[in-house]
Structure 1
């Protein structure tokens, strides 16, 4: 296959960064919907259920996805992947709740730094133990240096939590919730990746993931309602803009998959993360500039540099082989 023109690659990289900016927008919608809907769980359920509805439509529309569903029974009987992989959706449910809970307390920029930093560190652990579909990957000096800088950048950014805690005592808790979400999401992606390989369809694996997410959230809401913490259901009818959180998450994934042939997975990942970090910081500066401190700006930039160092392989060139969304 012919190598794409530099201008086409540059355009694809801009699109990747734009797709990365969808993540803070999704987080902002989920967080903003929590209060009018009556809590973090209703906001998370609305996001996950709308995403599930979209994936069910895709499962019917995409031929490879229909074939993937025919493989589910075989994979389950033969244990081609561990059965507990179906619980990956619970990690997704936790991530959505973390969005709803944390963004209002610590802001989009700090939430993005916590998630990206923890996610990058846990991905190194996943490479060491060989949990991902790619198997075991070596840990180089470059990745260790990037990991150390990542810790520094995240620590500098988190320094601003103290000032936010004066306004919101839940800020330190929200930061911990975001870090845990970042640590877990790498394992979720690895489980979904291996499941997608077994089914022969990423759409099938993603749909099953959202089924587990919605089921887990409904169970959690029932328990919380029985304990009298929140009522079951929505406090008021969702407004039109609240329905976009779930589809934005799917659009982020679909955009990434479509750009793989032009950029390769390494450059694509850097583009997406750049969009997420920079977009989160810009949205915070636009929406609540008085709450953004110097430490968060410096920490975000250090984290961005650390991700570049950790992710980039000097000899790793983009793969130009075509890839189809399945």
Structure 2
């Protein structure tokens, strides 16, 4: 029997790109909430709390999530996953604080380049050591080329950070914090992926992740309050739009989980990253065009090219389409 024509994935790929654009919007909300609520940790906490509330509702409503919680005890008693996987939640807390701190100091575009670049480099390391649920993956010359392009793109994009430091003394620190978030988030996703396999529910794994994030943020805020660095809790009642940051992050995750069977992890990742980079640059150009330099535009485009190169298949063809079996 002859094979049918390949099935195009233009619509789900466009949806993946749209989902990627949710990340800079979430970062923008968290960043703007920081000054109003009393600090970076307070802004991260409102995002974590709203995410946790949504996930606990989902844990009650979804049969798969309820089954995942029933398996929670046996998973931990039998040590099916290491106990230190709870650190994934602390990585999530760090990422939210990085959003609140970095975007206001270096802009959405440079934040996205730093996170995506560091994240893609770390994903190559994870493939080498076999830390992800997919196990060990080969490192090809094309992926090494992609990694080199990532470094070039990040250097170009960050070239104007020195000029930004004149307006914000925390510019260089914010860039370092953003890169740290990118380096850690790949490990977080791998830990959550393996936890999700053990529980049999992505919702359960994500809810536990946000429980740890919320606990970590509350402890950090208590320490900062004792040191009189940042007040504990919120200095003002959160405005309605501040509660959107958490659901946007969940919608990003749900969209990825929904589309991965249609697109595969590779093409889904390309769509999400394209949306994140393009959306971040577009928002910067719309909201603060005077702060966007040519270097950031070029650096963002080079970073996007690097991600495409690093994701190229060993046979030399990206999986833009899938074929139905006869």
- Normalised by the shorter chain, which TM-score bucket? over 0.9
Q: Spell out, residue by residue over 1:225-254, the C-alpha distance to the aligned partner (whole angstroms, 9 max, x if none).
A: 000111111111000000000000000011
Which stretch shows the higher mean deviation, 89-98 or 154-163?
A: 154-163
SS in 1 for 2:207: helix
1:273 matched residue in structure 2: 273
Map 1:14-29 → 2, pairs under 5 A: 14-29=14-29
CA positional deviation for 1:312: 2.5
1:324 matched residue in structure 2: none
Whole-Å Cα distance in 1 between the matches of residues 281 and 50 of structure 2? 27
CA positional deviation for 1:316: 6.1
1:32 matched residue in structure 2: 32
Contact 2:95 2:181 in 1 (8 A): yes
Map 1:1-326 → 2, pairs under 5 A: 5-6=7-8, 9-313=9-313, 314=316, 317=319
Whole-Å Cα distance in 2 between the matches of residues 3 and 89 of structure 1? 44
CA positional deviation for 1:11: 1.3
Unaligned runs of 5+ in 1: 322-326
Q: CA RMSD in A?
A: 1.4
Whole-Å Cα distance in 2 between the matches of residues 316 and 81 of structure 1? 33
Unaligned runs of 5+ in 2: none
Runs of 4+ in 1 over 3 A off after TM superposition: 2-5, 314-321
Q: How many residues in Structure 1 have an aligned counterpart in Structure 2?
A: 318
SS in 2 for 1:236: coil
Q: Spell out, residue by residue over 1:186-224, the C-alpha distance to the aligned partner (whole angstroms, 9 max, x if none).
A: 000000000100111111100000000000000000000
Whole-Å Cα distance in 2 between the matches of residues 49 and 158 of structure 1? 32
Distance change in 2, residues 1:137/1:235 (3 Å): same
Whole-Å Cα distance in 1 between the matches of residues 322 and 162 of structure 2? 44
Whole-Å Cα distance in 2 between the matches of residues 198 and 105 of structure 1? 40
Contact 2:7 2:323 in 1 (8 A): no
SS in 2 for 1:95: helix
Contact 1:263 1:320 in 2 (8 A): no
Distance change in 2, residues 1:127/1:61 (3 Å): same
Contact 1:261 1:320 in 2 (8 A): no
Whole-Å Cα distance in 2 between the matches of residues 152 and 211 of structure 1? 37
CA positional deviation for 1:261: 2.5
CA positional deviation for 1:5: 4.0
Contact 2:311 2:318 in 1 (8 A): no
Which stretch shows the higher mean deviation, 55-64 or 311-320?
A: 311-320
The TM-score normalised by the length of structure 1 is: 0.95
Distance change in 2, residues 1:203/1:158 (3 Å): same
SS in 1 for 2:165: helix
CA positional deviation for 1:62: 1.1
Contact 1:264 1:320 in 2 (8 A): no
Whole-Å Cα distance in 2 between the matches of residues 274 and 59 of structure 1? 31
